[in-house]
Structure 1
């Protein structure tokens, strides 16, 4: 599981004074922070294996916060984004939320309010990465199955008994039982119900 101390609060704002102030706030809360004065600088630096959240000014020259969000979406980088907005930015905020932004905060804001939003965004990113890691491990387990084991598994997860599976695919019930045992061992499923849950997560049991 990704540890919270390994997460980073990325901040993108074209105003250096705001960046410095936010950096000091993050450091005071023992949060790892990286700051950028432009969207392009962030793009040049960020890699999708970096866990954390993005605190992003919605209005910036050259590439706006919304344009950066769109770029990240196209790259399928789903880092939780908290937009920093002004009083007249409501239409842009609505657009940002529709495009998957985690939250927004309006200037001027209270430190505690911002920190709470950051805490929730970091938690969401950590949970999403844990989920992706779990799916990756499941995929490795299922990819280790032989074609015959996979065929038997597909019958298992729809509820077929060994006798029925043997009849359907034309092998002995004893051979089916051997394949069933291999399926359970390779997938590390402790029960048929758990195997079905695993397969459902991988969309194999639809």
Structure 2
């Protein structure tokens, strides 16, 4: 599967123009939503079934999925669950004419941005799309930072990684030297090299960057 991996719709960020992925077996609904989105400059693509989405190669851009609940084959809720099991985190907005409280609770617990019922006000729908795509922009930006931080971490020597963990935990150089059985001067050298390799301008900057590392690495 492809991507399921400031603009007129209220989007922020610049990682490619956002796109709404519409999945509904009602042709009139799809056409109406596409027309609405296009009227405010938001690109969209549409599918008549969940299987079509799974078979498609989608653009690698900030996106959101707009899912009906009841459709032939996998339901919208089934698709949401399947995407989560595959680690695909594209935000989901449900838009259905057959929803109930139990469905909405299930969808929201699984991370849906919103659960709307047909007919829906244009602005309500656009607000939900805006919130979903902005969430995807933020998620993708965080993933990029995480990948860059991990790449920097991989350049550290085993000793520098040990020092990093001590520094992140708040230990002073003297304590690090005692725990590692090395001199304080050696600790300072490793610490300096570690900071340079991590592109950390300060301790605060280092701590912020390391938040994206797995817990066992910091």
User: Match for 1:97 among 99, 108, 111?
Assistant: 108
User: Match for 1:124 among 135, 139, 150?
Assistant: 135
Size of the aligned set, in residue pairs, is: 206
The alpha-carbon distance between structure 1 residues 156 and 88, as it changes in their structure 2 partners (threshold 3 A), is closer
Question: Which of 131-140 and 158-167 deviates more?
Answer: 158-167
- Rounded to whole Å, the distance in 2 between the matches of 1:49 and 1:5 is 9
- Rounded to whole Å, the distance in 1 between the matches of 2:58 and 2:198 is 31
1:57 lines up with 2:68 in the alignment? yes
Unaligned runs of 5+ in 2: 1-11
Alpha carbon RMSD of aligned pairs, Å?
A: 2.1
- Rounded to whole Å, the distance in 1 between the matches of 2:185 and 2:164 is 15
Unaligned runs of 5+ in 1: none
Aligned partner of 2:86 in structure 1 is 75
Divergent runs of 4+, >6 A:
none
- Rounded to whole Å, the distance in 2 between the matches of 1:187 and 1:48 is 32
- Rounded to whole Å, the distance in 1 between the matches of 2:216 and 2:206 is 10
TM-score by length of 2: 0.86
Greater helix proportion: 1
- Rounded to whole Å, the distance in 2 between the matches of 1:105 and 1:150 is 48
- Rounded to whole Å, the distance in 2 between the matches of 1:205 and 1:159 is 15
1:148 lines up with 2:159 in the alignment? yes
- Rounded to whole Å, the distance in 1 between the matches of 2:106 and 2:55 is 25
1:167 lines up with 2:178 in the alignment? yes
